[in-house]
Structure 1
Amino acid sequence: MLQRNGLLFLAVTVVLFGLQVSTVAQPAPPVPAPVAPAKPAAEGTKTLRIAFSPSESPTLDPHAARDPFSFRLIATAYETLYMWAPGEHPHVVPCLAKDFPQVSEDGLTVTIKVDTDAKFHSSECFGEERTRNLKASDVVHSFKRLAVYGDNGMYWLIGGLIQGLDEYASKARYDMNYETTDTKVEGLTAPDDGTVVIKLTRPYAPLVTMLAHPSFSIIAREAIDHYSGMLDERMVGTGPYRLNAVADGRLYVFKGWDDYRGEKPVFKRVTFTRRNYWNEFIEGFQSGQFQEMPMWADYYDRVVKDGKPAGVLAKTATEVVQQDEHGYYFLAFNMEDPIWGAMDDDGRALRKAVSLCIDRKQILEDAGWTAGWNGAQEDLFPTGMEFEDADDELAYGKSDIALAKKTLNASKYKGGVDPSSGDALTLSFLIYDTSRILEQYANLYNQLIVNLRSGLKALGMKLDVRYLDTTNYREEVTTADEQLFVSGWFLDYPDPANFLQLFWSENAKTSLEFNNASRYHSPEFDKRFLEYESLAPVEGNLARRRELVSAMAGEIAKDQPTIPLVHKRTIFLRNTGTQEWPQMPRQTYNDIRFVKETDK
């Protein structure tokens, strides 16, 4: 998407990052007077209060959402068949499903038993009964609704995987007479109230982790029909919290649901409140009005020093949480090019030399991307991915011009010269027209060009840049003849398959968000990827899944089809005096239900 959220051609990049906490200078409010540190909440005070930025424009509709903040709101009241649980190792557990699926021998038929003891929140959509128990047909209707929303939501996550669902969605979107609710889909059925049967187009065990994403939240059929286009502000879910009030996108109030079937939430209420100015945030945080708030770049030095609370927050129970974004920008070589994509030792050396010659930190500095809020991407795997440490020894994104020269000179391209012609090699680079994107991103890519050209010159090579005057960059990349492209990925959920699919050869054929932009084709990688896709994310498969992820990382590092560039960082403040926050990646989105009280 994350947010991915998905493969980011640059026009989408502008939209997605516009949803992050604003770093644009706000009108400078007066520095608030010091406020006494907040006292621990009195016993019985059970409200968890979270502040959010005015740059957020959330929706409560799980099938139309595309941004992380919306997903967090959605996961507070809705539930999915499976969910992520906190701990040192992120893992999925059954939620609205009774257990992990039963899978046929060929891996194509997935049978899931749903928890029919789960009840929907009280709503007028159910008539006099006000509620009812979950049925398998609710899962079918919810998934079909997600499919109809298509690119307006996150359907692309599962696009092409369920037999007949793409065809159903296409007809439902464009044929106004098509019955979108009751039309049967071959690969998505509910033979009885407690059973969902999914027929896949190929074996895909990571389906379980995908179904933990908030986009696959289950909505009652009656709510879909009754509220229709109003589900951006209405919620009829099964979660431990129910929506109590909404105020024009400025305030969201959730209350603990007394009839919840599982462990009751610790906090009786959870509020998300928008604040427009820094002094509103900091005064609310100091006084105990908020337990979590976003950090603004312009005010960072006032309240943070060396990563610790400072200034008016110096002696408060405040934690400064700094997290690398769960994805990064990268360059992709055209692996179909006979020179730059060659899968021999000389081709590998050429690509590694180019990667080594790029000074990522210098690019950030020259582009004006503040170091505390951005970083050079040195690893292959993004932060927050399961088994992300499996690439620790690879130095995939290392910058070292001396090593770049040594690597290149050990190949047949010594001094950057093509031995077949005697001329200096030229690397052709296709990039989006930087005059059509936000200034901060234009600065980044313009400085990338400057830095790359300088690095190639030091190696004896040249750079030729073509600016693409179109919004269809991702589609163009699938067939373009240039030798280098710009791309990016942000984890939608922690399963490694969500990232490693970018290197599977079959995805070079698609222009969807998970496109293999480098057109990388490694039989060894593909073999391991398909085995990984056959293993359910359960404890018994943990060791083998890690082995496969490590082996795939080794193949990618050997071949160097991509060049990691930079990532952004998120910084926010949390009160740790009365709350204990769960240990789980942010892109699981369902952390609110696991927040506990503490007496420290």
Structure 2
Amino acid sequence: MSPAPPKHLDPAISYASDESLFIFQIYEPPMGYHFLKRPYELEPQGVEDFPVETYLDESGNEVTADSDQIAFTRYTLKVREDAHYQPHPAFATKENGEPLYLFSTAEEGAGYKQVPDFPETASRPVHANDYAYQIKRLADPALGSPMLGFMAQYIVGMAEFTAGLEALDRDGWLNLDDYPMEGLEVVDERTLSITIKGRYPQFVYWLAMHFFVPVPPEADRFYANPGFLDRNLTLDWWPIGSGPFMMVKNDPNSEIVLERNPNYREDYFPTEGEPGDLEAGNLVDAGKRVPFVDRAVYRLEKEVLPLWTKFLQGYYDRSGETHGNTNSVYDQAFVVGPDGVEMSADVADHGIRMDPDVKPGIYYYGFNMRDPVVGGYTEEKRKLRRALQIVFNVEEYLAIFRKGNGIVAHNVIPPGIAGHLEGEAGINPYTHVWKDDQAVRRSIDEAKQLLVEAGYPNGRDARTGEPLKIFIDVQSQAVGKTQMNWMDRSFSQIGIQVEFRPADWNRTREKLLTGNSQIYSYGWLADYPDPENFLFLLYSPESPLVCKCDGTNNSNFENAEYDELFRKVRVTPPGPERDVMVARMVEIFREEAVWLYAYYPKDIYLANAWVTNTKRHGITKATLKYINLDAGMREQKRAEWNQPVTWPLYAGAMMLVVLILPGVIAYRRRQNATARRNHNG
């Protein structure tokens, strides 16, 4: 089920989460993630093993990993021998090896409206050059990939490759194989090397993104046929991949259908996971070959109610709805009990499976550290911010406005990512204490005392006697009046007044870019599961006022120690040395009280009882191959839940009889009377 159709399915162009739901089933990037393990763990997918890293100096000579002369890093990948593309007409050839479907005019191919219309298909193994070809597509200015600007900072020769293509007078298909990129070398049919500038260990995470999947030149050539674009015969509409599934129908206003790729390699359900997976039944299919299902149908449902009704009737296996905020469906499905969110009595008898998903992300309200009132780095300013942090009761906020679906953030790094600690070791000691095996928020009295020490007794400036007023920029569509009233009451407990400044996102973003906010709202979801992906939210060069760009350090936080540690973390491989640096950066974040409050978003997904292996994965959407279901139970439950209701029919028939019978009796009486008169006459 999907609330909106995908706009892009070309892996060089797409950047939306809903689109990756399809892309990751059809394509297979070099790297992927273990389905069950947390923290998130990388594993090879389209390649045989982890990339081999070689470090080079400015002259291209190899140096050791601990050298201070590292100018480049070369990643060498070995493509799996058993990786094959799905059957597709792009691979079909004539006896002489020329493409079978290669047309000179639009009229020649006019009879083909969609990919299933082509009678001849073929396949071939995945080659190393297919990965190189896709990286060149990322650099092709004609495609406008959202990754071009970022990746050009790292991949050697990418910016020059783009400039070279921009200078071309293009007419028709451009075979990117004819244009070399300095940082790419196809060593042989199964070996590829990618050279990046400097040292950036996080690059291996990018190899798990759909931007780096293999795209065969044949696909590019096939879809460049004249007239194909007019009929949506494009890679953006009909992907060609080597993943577990292939697209057989794409009608985004109705349904999208995926079927098992008959050429998919041998792949198996994991045999190990994290603690609790065995008890939760997540290892029942351990060691079995995947994918388990032959066909997956995604239907467009524009309204929540019919989607929910069909799910309860058993016509949808999984709920495509994320249940995190307030809506009528959520209220029907869940109740908030003493142990958190529970299934409501109305739907508990369906045996529906609840899958909570703590996303690798963070939502927060941040202080502008350049603001003259709440900003600054003196002890008094820290105490003021800590008082505001304590009085903003995030636990209560989540219970009221998120139905308990969220986790108080004591750390800038969310669960599932290295650097996040649970339990007593993970609490923020400036806002909480550890009591009875749980984090307990510090008292309002402590917040009041901090205000006194900050120079604002009873919420008034000790020098002027003026009441302290804080200003919060909120997005009009994201925060309602009820939430603002709750925050107003919270701060009034320590005598502080609040003025909200609602605006649309464009106006709010303009304030952040110019530093004209005091307290602002923001959020971040991980692109990859590394602490660097969150710690950079406080790196001073990322401040919009410093970089003069759309930076992510909207608090304009500056700390020399933090910045130095960040630069080291960015280039240090995972390990104990890096863990110590990350822990110190988290401690600086807490000491300086940079954000007013934060929480990790949590959603709940639902699956009917016959669906198994539904554990959510916060980073990748390449999980359809692990889904299993009991088709017999599904048919049984559908029949049970959709019994025809016949009593209205019988009741209606009886009513009809009651209404008609007197008339029939009267009619028969008249007929009999007429017959007697005729007889007597």
TM-score, structure 2 as length reference: 0.67
User: 1:220 is matched with which residue?
Assistant: 216
Amino acid at match of 1:573: L
Given candidates 524, 527, 536, the residue that maps to 2:561 is 524
Is structure 2 residue 91 aligned with structure 1 residue 126?
yes
Q: 1:84 to 1:289 in 2, by over 3 A?
A: same
Aligned to 2:605: 572
**Aligned equivalent of 1:393, options 422, 427, 449:** 427
Name the stretch that deviates more: 186-195 or 196-205: 186-195
Aligned to 2:667: none
Corresponding residue SS for 1:551: helix
Specify the alignment match of 1:207 in structure 2: 203
Q: Distance in 2 between matches of 1:68 and 1:336?
A: 34
Q: From the superposition, tell whether residues 475 and 302 of structure 1 become closer, same or farther in structure 2 (CA, over 3 Å).
A: closer
The answer on whether the counterparts of 1:294 and 1:571 sit within 8 Å (CA) in structure 2 is no
Q: After the TM superposition, which of the residue ranges 473-482 and 258-267 deviates more from structure 2? A: 473-482
Aligned pairs (5 A) from 1:231-270: 231-263=235-267, 264-270=289-295
Mark the runs of 5 or more structure 1 residues left unpaired by the alignment. Answer: 1-51
How big is each residue's C-alpha offset from its partner over 1:292-339, in whole Å with a ceiling of 9 and x where there is no partner? 113564234444455454556434442122334443332222234466
Cα displacement string for residues 249-283 of structure 1 (whole angstroms, at most 9, x for unaligned residues): 53233232333233252424231322536675456
Q: Which residue of 2 aligns with 1:561?
A: 594
CA contact (8 A) 1:266 1:595 kept: yes
- Counterparts of 1:176 and 1:448 in 2: how far apart (Å)? 56
Does the residue aligned with 1:587 lie in a helix, a strand or coil?
coil
Residue of structure 2 aligned with 1:100, choices 11, 28, 50: 50
Partner of 2:621 in structure 1? 589
* Superposition CA RMSD, Å: 4.0
Deviates more, 1:336-345 or 1:227-236: 336-345
CA distance in 2, matches of 1:107, 1:155: 21
Q: CA deviation at 1:494?
A: 2.6
Counterpart contact for 1:302–1:311, Cα < 8 Å: no
Question: What is aligned with 2:111?
Answer: none
Quickly say closer, same or farther: Cα 1:451–1:299, change in 2 above 3 A.
closer
Q: Residues 309 and 338 (structure 1 numbering): CA distance in 2 closer, same or farther, change over 3 Å?
A: closer
2:127 is aligned with what amino acid?
A: K
User: When the two structures are superposed, what TM-score results if normalisation uses the length of structure 1?
Assistant: 0.75
Gaps of 5+ in 2: 56-64, 98-121, 268-288, 433-440, 634-681
After superposition, residues 401-550 of structure 1 pair within 5 angstroms as 401-412=444-455, 414=457, 427=470, 429-430=472-473, 434=476, 438=477, 441-443=478-480, 458-459=493-494, 471=506, 473-474=508-509, 476-508=511-543, 509-510=546-547, 515-536=552-573, 541=575, 543-550=576-583
1:331 aligned to which of 365, 375, 396: 365
Kept after mapping to 1: 8 A contact 2:386/2:593: yes
Q: Which residue of 1 aligns with 2:380?
A: 346
| 1:150 and 1:156 in contact (8 A); partners too | no
Q: 2:41 matched to 1:87?
A: no
Q: Deviations over 1:94-127 (max 9, x none)?
A: 2223332314142732322130522222222234
* Amino acid across the alignment from 1:53: S
**Residue number in structure 1 paired with 2:352:** 318
Amino acid at match of 1:271: A
CA contact (8 A) 2:305 2:329 kept: no
Higher relative contact order at CA 8 Å, sep ≥6: structure 1 or structure 2? 1
Aligned residues of 1:120 and 1:238 also touching (Cα < 8 A):
yes
Q: 3-state DSSP class of the match of 1:69?
A: helix
* Higher-Rg member (1/2): 2
Which of 22, 25, 49 pairs up with 1:76? 25
1:371 aligns with 2:363: no
Deviations 1:135-176 (A, max 9, x none): 333223323433548987455664633345356557867987
Q: Match of 1:494, SS?
A: coil
What one-letter code is carried by the residue in structure 2 that aligns with 1:319? R
Going from structure 1 to structure 2, the CA distance change for 1:415 and 1:288 (only over 3 Å counts) comes to closer
Count of residue pairs the alignment pairs up: 534
- Which deviates further from its counterpart, 243-252 or 370-379? 370-379
1:139 and 2:122 are equivalent in the alignment? no
1:53 aligns with 2:2: yes
Taking the aligned partners of 1:348 and 1:590, their CA distance within structure 2 comes to 44
Change (3 A) 1:77 1:386: farther
Moved more, 295-304 or 245-254: 295-304
Work out whether residues 378 and 396 of structure 1, in 8 Å CA contact, stay in contact via their aligned partners in 2.
no
- The percent of aligned pairs where both chains have the same amino acid is 21
Query: Is the CA contact (8 Å cut-off) linking 1:504 and 1:526 kept in structure 2?
Result: yes
For 2:549 and 2:295, the matched residues in 1 are separated by: 37
Output the CA distance in 2 between the equivalents of 1:376 and 1:175: 53
